[in-house]
Amino acid sequence: MPDIDKYAVFGNPIKQSKSPTIHSAFASQCGQSIQYRAVRVEEGDFERAARAFFKEGGHGLNVTVPFKQDAFKLADRLSERARRAGAVNTLTLAEDGTIDGDNTDGIGIVRDMIANLGWMVQGMRVLIIGAGGAVRGVLEPLLRERPKALLIVNRTAARAEQLATEFSDLGPVEGGGYDCIGSRQFDLVINASSAGLAGEVPDLPADLLTEHSCCYDMVYGNDPTPFMRWAAQQAAWAVADGLGMLVEQAAESFYVWRRQRPETQSVITELRVGMEAA
């Protein structure tokens, strides 16, 4: 009987990870047998743990906070989207024993917004709140959709300005502090700041949205996030969290590893029902 291909997600913390559930659902759907588990890795131990995983027969790794830059350094080869993101969330053991690094976060958010939610990015005025690694990972796919304009704002303006400079070859992107928003309105607002983790809402103007604006929070939870509640109070046309992004980026990782593209909507629905029942 052949060995079952082994996969895992490395992170810290990792207890809350839904990746094993998601990939098990994908494997069942595609008629494949895999083993997928969540592994807590101590900070400073990522490279040793990852190399040991592959040496012991592992086929692929997902990588989450705080190890995406470590995975970037570990990879022997990088996809173009990983290179632009400066971070890796998907590692694959190649046939020659080397390690390929990819980043599926950006394609995850774009697929969720366009395919699942029916939102538009092309021709839209886009505001991104935050300038950390999560933003770096999604900028290229968002700009490939050709928005009319994209503004990155961050408490530390220099970080947003740096990101805008790095990605300016892909489209009309600008960066700065919150004061850059001024009286402008946006069709799509993406929250990638850490404010919600502290139960806070970014300091945003009340007249930021139009009656057709969509608001997306890259995090998710059993209840609406503070940003989602703010967006609803501002009468946003549509509001969503990042659960669909999580599933879509996982589906892209599954495709990278198994060359089969799973159906995602049923998995998103199943996870949502489970969260609401919790």
Q: Residue 35, Cβ neighbours under 10 Å: how many?
A: 16
The answer, yes or no, to whether the previous bond of 205 is cis (omega within 30 of 0) is: no
Is 19 marked within a binding site?
yes
Q: How far, in Å, CA of 147 to CA of 162, rounded?
A: 19
Is position 210 annotated in a ligand binding site?
no
Q: Are strands 34-40 and 5-11 parallel, antiparallel or unpaired?
A: parallel
- Look up 68 and say whether it is catalytic: yes
State yes or no: 103 annotated in a binding site.
no
Task: Confirm whether residue 62 is marked as ligand binding.
Answer: no
Tokens (6 digits) for 6: 């082994």
- Angle at CA of residue 56, ends 51 and 61, nearest 5°: 55
251 marked ligand binding residue: no
Q: Is 97 annotated as a binding residue?
A: no
Alpha carbon distance 177, 182 (integer Å): 10
The answer to whether 89 is a known ligand-binding residue is yes
Residue 77: beta bridge partners? Answer: 100
Q: Is 17 annotated as a binding residue?
A: yes
Other Cβ atoms closer than 10 A to 6: 17
Q: Is 134 annotated as a binding residue?
A: yes
**85 annotated ligand binder:** no
- Interacting residues of 137 by C-beta distance below 8 A, sequence separation 6+: 68, 85, 87, 89, 103, 105, 106
217 annotated to a ligand binding site = no
Structure token pair of residue 77:
């080869």
> In whole angstroms, what is the distance from residue 137 CA to residue 152 CA?
13
Is 194 assigned a ligand-binding role in the annotation?
no
What is the enclosing helix (H) or strand (E) of 186?
A: strand 186-191
124 is in an annotated binding site: no
From 6, 15, 55, 68, the catalytic residue: 68
Element (H, E) at 174: strand 173-176
Q: What is the distance between the alpha carbons of residues 55 and 257, in angstroms, rounded to a whole number?
A: 17
Token reading at 79:
């996809």
Q: Is 73 annotated as a binding residue?
A: no
* 218 labeled part of a ligand binding site: yes
Whether residue 155 is annotated as binding a ligand: the answer is yes
Residues placed in the known binding site: 17-19, 64, 80, 89, 105, 130-134, 154-159, 218, 220, 242, 249
Positions marked catalytic:
68
Residues placed in the known binding site for NADP(+): 80, 130-134, 154-159, 218, 242
Residues placed in the known binding site for shikimate: 17-19, 64, 89, 105, 220, 249
